[in-house]
Amino acid sequence: MAAQTRALVSCQWLADAVRKKLVGPKLRVVDTSWYLPIMQRDPKAEFAHTHIPGASFFDIDDCCDKSSDFDHTLPTSSHFSQYVGELGIGNDTHVVVYDASKFGSFSAPRVWWMFRLFGHSGVSVLDGGMKKWVADGFPVTSESSKPERREFKAALNQSWVKSYEDVLENIRTKRAQVVDVRSADRFRGLESEPRDDTLPGHIPGAINIPFTSFLDPSGTELGTEALTKVFKEVGVDLQRPVWATCGSGVTACHVVLAAHLLGHPGVCVYDGSWTEWFKRASPEHIITEGEVKKV
């Protein structure tokens, strides 16, 4: 049970659990793969073809607030409870999340954060994801079976979620440090956004740490010393409030995970992120070296 509280588990640890047939009501493996349309990958089709034995698929575009104008906005507690219950996850289940991105981790930290946000601390990210799992020679399968439904009771920690209004107010108060994990060129406004109706740029006062900064070439998370250096080099003080943002609230969760590994578990996420900010903010609240938003 010690693994319950570990934010990361190794591929070797999971491979041993799979070999010992421990995947079941007490241990669930979840493929959380999600890609931007420009990546031209179909995560559900890929999952049907290849996944870690015993894994279920978690679709962040399904477990979300469908009435929102923005992509994969957080679901309600009851929707989340229902959704993860159908994946055979109960409040006593240790959940291991991974994705199949080329980075090692891309969307998995978002689902790790969602579980924690809804009161479930027994969740770990597979360190290195499918990329390292395959590189290490561990087994994959196309076989899948629907797990037996379990009861899951969610308890949302709303204070970990930030809104457009919160971020707008923060420009004035500067109470929190806002970390944006998009690429440096998107942040500066020099590389186009993956969504056609959105120009690049950033929130006034935001600090850029591309999410890939937290990973090594094999896709595994950097060690604590290297992670500390990543934050220090850009002047982020983890003793003070930190809010994370990205394109649509997915890769922002890499900041939450990295800070958590350094003993600072309370990083908040701006769920609407740049997609919402660009649509709602006035031009003076969009900092860019490129094309300027028309009023």
The model's pLDDT over 180-213, given as tens digits with 9 standing for 90+, comes to 999 999 999 999 898 888 999 999 999 999 999 9
Mapping DSSP to helix (H, G, I), strand (E, B) and coil, where does residue 19 land?
helix
Q: Which phi and psi (to 5°) does residue 7 adopt?
A: -75, -25
Q: 165 and 152, same structural domain? A: no
Angle at 69 between CA 64 and CA 74, to 5 degrees: 25
Q: What is the pLDDT of residue 292?
A: 86
User: Each residue of 97-147: pLDDT tens digit?
Assistant: 999 999 999 999 999 999 999 999 999 999 999 999 999 999 999 999 899
Domain assignment present for 291: no
Mapping DSSP to helix (H, G, I), strand (E, B) and coil, where does residue 87 land?
coil
Q: 220 and 122, same structural domain? A: no
- In this prediction, residues 234-238 reach a mean pLDDT of 98
Burial of 11 (0-12, 13-18, 19+ CB in 10 A): buried
Q: Compute the mean pLDDT over every residue in the chain, rounded to the nearest whole number.
A: 93
Q: 151 and 64, same structural domain? A: yes
**What whole-number distance in Å separates Cα of residue 146 and Cα of residue 150?**
12
Q: 223 and 96, same structural domain? A: no
**What whole-number distance in Å separates Cα of residue 287 and Cα of residue 292?**
9
Residue 140, amino acid: V
Q: Find out whether 119 and 156 touch, Cβ atoms under 8 Å.
A: yes
Q: 177 and 55, same structural domain? A: no
Domain assignment present for 86: yes
Cα–Cα nearest to 103, from 36, 150, 170, 177: 36
- In this prediction, residues 41-63 reach a mean pLDDT of 90
Q: What is the pLDDT of residue 145?
A: 87
Q: What is the pLDDT of residue 67?
A: 72
> Over 60: is that where the pLDDT of 2 sits?
no
Q: Provide, rounded to the nearest whole percent, the portion of the chain with pLDDT above 90.
A: 82
Instruction: Establish whether 11 is a catalytic residue.
Output: no
Q: 128 and 75, same structural domain? A: yes
- In this prediction, residues 226-248 reach a mean pLDDT of 97
**What whole-number distance in Å separates Cα of residue 26 and Cα of residue 256?**
25
Q: Which residue range(s) make up the domain with 30?
A: 2-156
Q: What is the pLDDT of residue 92?
A: 96
> Over 50: is that where the pLDDT of 1 sits?
no
Q: 129 and 118, same structural domain? A: yes
Position of tokens 């922002």? 252
Q: 104 and 148, same structural domain? A: yes
Q: 229 and 181, same structural domain? A: yes
Strand partners, 202: 287
Q: What is the pLDDT of residue 63?
A: 60
Domain assignment present for 290: no
Domain assignment present for 101: yes
Domain assignment present for 253: yes
Last residue of a domain, one of 138, 156, 174: 156
| 5 band by pLDDT with thresholds 50, 70 and 90 | low
Number of domains forming the structure of the chain = 2
Cα–Cα nearest to 269, from 257, 279, 281: 257
Residue 210, amino acid: P
**What whole-number distance in Å separates Cα of residue 259 and Cα of residue 267?**
7
Tokens for 245, please give them: 């943002």
Cα–Cα nearest to 127, from 202, 238, 214: 214
Q: 93 and 13, same structural domain? A: yes
Rounded-to-10 torsion of CA 265, 175, 171, 177: -40
Mapping DSSP to helix (H, G, I), strand (E, B) and coil, where does residue 168 land?
helix
pTM over 0.85: yes
Q: 168 and 143, same structural domain? A: no
Domain assignment present for 114: yes
Last residue of a domain, one of 137, 156, 175: 156
- In this prediction, residues 273-284 reach a mean pLDDT of 95
Q: Catalogue the long-range contacts made by 74-82 (C-beta closer than 8 Å, 24 or more residues apart).
A: 74/114, 74/117, 74/161, 74/271, 77/118, 77/154, 77/155, 77/156, 78/154, 80/114, 80/118, 80/152, 80/154, 81/118, 81/152, 81/153, 81/154
Q: Which phi and psi (to 5°) does residue 149 adopt?
A: -60, 140
Which member of 63, 246, 253, 268 is catalytic? 246
CATH number of the structural domain spanning residue 192? 3.40.250.10
Q: What is the pLDDT of residue 3?
A: 41
* Greater model confidence, 1 or 178: 178
Domain assignment present for 27: yes
Q: 164 and 152, same structural domain? A: no
- In this prediction, residues 136-159 reach a mean pLDDT of 95
Q: What is the pLDDT of residue 238?
A: 98
Domain assignment present for 17: yes
Q: What is the pLDDT of residue 68?
A: 64
- In this prediction, residues 271-293 reach a mean pLDDT of 93
Q: What is the pLDDT of residue 194?
A: 87
Last residue of a domain, one of 136, 156, 176: 156
User: Each residue of 63-77: pLDDT tens digit?
Assistant: 666 776 666 678 888
